[in-house]
Amino acid sequence: MNQTGRMGVGFASGCAAVLTAVVLAGCGGGDGAEPVNLEPTALCNSAGAQPKVVNGASCVSFSSTPVVYLLIARANGEQVACSGTRVSPTHVVTAAHCLEGNPRSVLAALFKTDTSVKGLAAKKWVLHPAYDGSGPPTPNDVAVVTFPAGLPNPTMPILASQAAAPGQAVTFAGWGEPTGLLAVGAANLSEVNEQSLGFKFDGSQSNVCAGDSGGPMYRVLPGGPAMIGVASSGPKSPCGEKATVNSLFTNLQTPSVLEFVRSQAPGAVIL
């Protein structure tokens, strides 16, 4: 994602040992921070997927993950790829900036078992009424897309009962660069406020890239993953390079944001 808040697909890990498929607790940092597990199978499993290649960080997903690939056609003919999360049978939460400018259409990718893909057209999409696109940081950068039929993906609940805090280990996923495949990363939170959840990529954990906009940040709980944020903005630096600014996710635990999602996706599960 660049500084205007538009991301691409995938994550880059600065922990070179991530490709050795070992548990890298040492990448989690000190100062009381929770350990971060960058082992590829654990990362992919957290999103309901499996590693695409041995020791790889990109994941085979198809319909086994709640993380959805969205293709948006803008009024000027431009096509934009974003990520989203299925929170009810017919609703996907994504970033509001992905849907700026009254798009012509929004499609969700439906992956078949033979690896072919078709698109399911959304019937409507609603941006948070207080989103203004002025960031980053960008307040209320969240939207809900409604589809006429249920997507085959599983759903992910939203976590409201356990407040986010600096030092917590979080996981995030998206269909961004550099591969265009579903990829999963992890880091320790360093910024927590009503507007945003964020961290700074120093090369030791993971970061977002262009195309990951709208993808989930989540906590891995004993019962499975539960979403706490939506990917909003990231550094201008190329994927994998150390950043001087935080990567930011819209804080879904903020009451006004949570209520907006609940109103647009009444079937969403709130933990």
Closest to 208 (Cα-Cα) out of 51, 17, 8: 8
Residue 94 pLDDT: 98
**pLDDT tens digits along 195-250:** 999 999 888 888 888 889 999 999 999 999 999 999 999 888 777 788 888 999 99
Distance, in Å, from the CA atom of 230 to the CA atom of 7, rounded to the nearest integer, reads 12
Give the residue ranges of DSSP H helices in the chain.
40-46, 255-264
pLDDT digits (tens, 9 = 90+) for 178-198: 878 888 999 999 999 999 999
CA dist list (Å): 267 to 102, 166, 270: 25, 30, 9
Locate the domains of the chain by residue range.
11-264
| 40 three-state secondary structure | helix
CA distance 268 to 227: 11
Name which residue leads in pLDDT, 102 or 225: 225
Give pLDDT, residue 114: 62
Nearest to 246 by CA among 170, 162, 175: 170
pTM beyond 0.75: the answer is yes
pLDDT digits (tens, 9 = 90+) for 49-90: 876 544 445 676 666 899 999 999 988 888 999 999 999 999
Can you give the pLDDT at residue 14? 31
Look at residue 61 in the predicted model and tell me its pLDDT: 65
Q: Tell me how long the chain is.
A: 271
pLDDT at 129 over 70: yes
pLDDT for 83: 95
**How many Å apart are CA 139 and CA 147, to the nearest integer?**
25
Answer whether CATH 2.40.10.10 is correct for domain 11-264: yes
Question: Please, which pLDDT band fits residue 146 given cuts at 50, 70 and 90?
Answer: very high
Mean pLDDT, the chain, whole residue set: 82
**Residue 42: what pLDDT?**
85
Least confident of 11-15, 117-121, 169-173, 262-266: 11-15
Query: If you average pLDDT over residues 12-20, what whole number do you get?
Result: 27
- Looking at residues 18-46, what average pLDDT do you find? 57
**For residue 22, pLDDT beyond 60:** no
Amino acid (1-letter code) at residue 93: V
Greater confidence (50 vs 43) lies with: 43
- How many other CB atoms are there within 10 angstroms of residue 199's CB atom? 26
Q: Please name the residues in contact with 183: beta carbons below 8 A apart, sequence gap of 6 or more.
A: 9, 10, 11, 57, 58, 59, 173, 174, 175, 176
Task: Write out the two tokens for 243.
Answer: 């950043």
In the structure encoding, which two tokens stand for residue 135, read together? 């960031």
> What is the DSSP code (8-state) at residue 196?
E
State the burial class of residue 244 (Cβ atoms within 10 Å of its Cβ: 0-12, 13-18, 19+).
exposed
The total of other beta-carbon atoms located within 10 Å of residue 195's CB is 19
Among 55-69, 105-119, 135-149, which is the least confidently predicted range? 55-69
Residue at 197: amino acid letter: L
pLDDT at residue 122, as a whole number = 95
- Average pLDDT of the residues in 27-31: 40
Token pair 């960058």 is found at 38
Instruction: Assign 117 to helix, strand or coil.
Output: strand
How far is residue 214's CA from residue 33's CA, in Å, rounded to a whole number? Answer: 26
Residue 142's pLDDT is what?
A: 97
Residue bearing the bigger pLDDT, 234 or 99? 99
Average pLDDT over residues 111-134: 86
Tell me, what's the pLDDT at 99?
95
